[in-house]
């Protein structure tokens, strides 16, 4: 049985490298690719792939939020994260969102293949290079309610917050999310109230600190 895979990464050189790697596997096939989180969610809905290999830092919808939507809407699609981030916050966030594997981009290609094969059997795979740090900090992270402030926000509010931080206007955000400008303005007010933040600059700093975007 051939494993059908969608790739999600906003760097072309990474996508090209993944194509080269996966095309060498006789039991794996790439069926499509996405360059932002919104596109990844739509392609999973369209193709119902067996796997999606997902980056964490992507425009329009970050990897964590995309994983939450994908696992909620497509129970047959498994997610393996391929990221440059080894921070426990990202790792735990990915698994809480529904991922089954987490591999660092700096690791060898065999780690990614092993992650896919392990997740195929519904088992969790963690890159050995971050496994020790994960185990060391997992109790602390969970007992301190990891990224508490972002979990205070709904999925849609996190999406809006990311787009605000990326400099998108209310009109642009409304168009991307297929809602009215007044709805986006209402989300913005709720976000500011929940976080007790009163300026776009502070919202942007918060979004960067919490890993919703990498824009600096």
Write the pLDDT tens digit of every residue in 49-97.
999 999 998 888 888 999 999 999 888 999 999 999 887 778 888 998 9
- Per residue in 129-145, pLDDT (tens digit) is 887 665 655 444 445 44
Domain CATH for 186: 1.10.10.10
**pTM as predicted:** 0.67
Range of the domain at 161: 148-209
Nearest of 149, 79, 155, 147 to residue 116 by alpha carbon: 79
**Domain annotation covers residue 157:** yes
Identify whether 65 is part of a domain: yes
Confidence of residue 114 (pLDDT cuts 50, 70, 90): very high
CB-based burial, 43-63: b 16+ in 10 Å, e otherwise: bbeebebbbbbbbbbbbbbbb
Does 215 map to a domain? no
Instruction: Indicate if 75 and 172 belong to the same structural domain.
Output: no
Whether residues 63 and 168 share a domain: the answer is no
pLDDT tens, 28-50?
999 999 999 999 999 999 999 99
Report the range of poorest mean pLDDT among 44-48, 78-82, 108-112, 146-150.
Answer: 146-150
H helices of the chain, where? 12-23, 37-47, 63-73, 88-97, 109-120, 128-143, 148-151, 155-165, 170-177, 181-195, 200-209
Confidence band, pLDDT 50/70/90 cuts, at residue 215: low
Q: Has residue 24 got a pLDDT over 60?
A: yes
Same domain, 138 and 153: no
Give the confidence band of 7 by pLDDT, cuts at 50, 70, 90.
very high
Q: Could you tell me the CA-to-CA distances from 100 to 76, 91, 160 in Å, in that order?
A: 12, 11, 26
Is 216 within a domain?
no
Is residue 205 located within the same domain as residue 105? no
The band of 195, judged by pLDDT with boundaries at 50, 70 and 90, is confident
């Amino acid at each position: 049985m051939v494993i059908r895979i969608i790739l999600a990464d906003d760097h072309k050189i990474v996508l090209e490298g993944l194509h080269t790697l996966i095309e060498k596997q006789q039991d794996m096939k790439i069926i499509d690719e996405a360059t932002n989180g919104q596109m990844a969610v739509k392609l999973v809905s369209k193709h119902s792939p067996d796997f999606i290999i997902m980056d964490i830092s992507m425009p329009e919808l970050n990897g964590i939020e995309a994983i939450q939507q994908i696992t909620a809407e497509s129970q047959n699609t498994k997610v393996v994260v391929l990221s440059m981030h080894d921070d426990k916050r990202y790792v735990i966030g990915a698994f809480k969102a529904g991922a089954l594997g987490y591999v660092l981009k700096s690791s060898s290609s065999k780690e990614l293949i092993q992650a896919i094969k392990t997740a195929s059997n519904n088992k969790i795979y963690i890159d050995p290079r971050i496994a020790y740090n994960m185990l060391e900090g997992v109790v602390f992270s969970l007992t301190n309610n990891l990224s508490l402030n972002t979990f205070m926000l709904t999925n849609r509010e996190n999406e809006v917050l990311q787009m605000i931080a990326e400099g998108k206007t209310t009109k642009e955000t409304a168009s991307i999310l297929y809602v009215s400008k007044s709805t986006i303005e209402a989300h913005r007010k709720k976000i500011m109230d929940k976080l007790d933040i009163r300026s776009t600059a502070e919202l942007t700093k918060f979004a960067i600190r919490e890993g919703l975007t990498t824009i600096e």
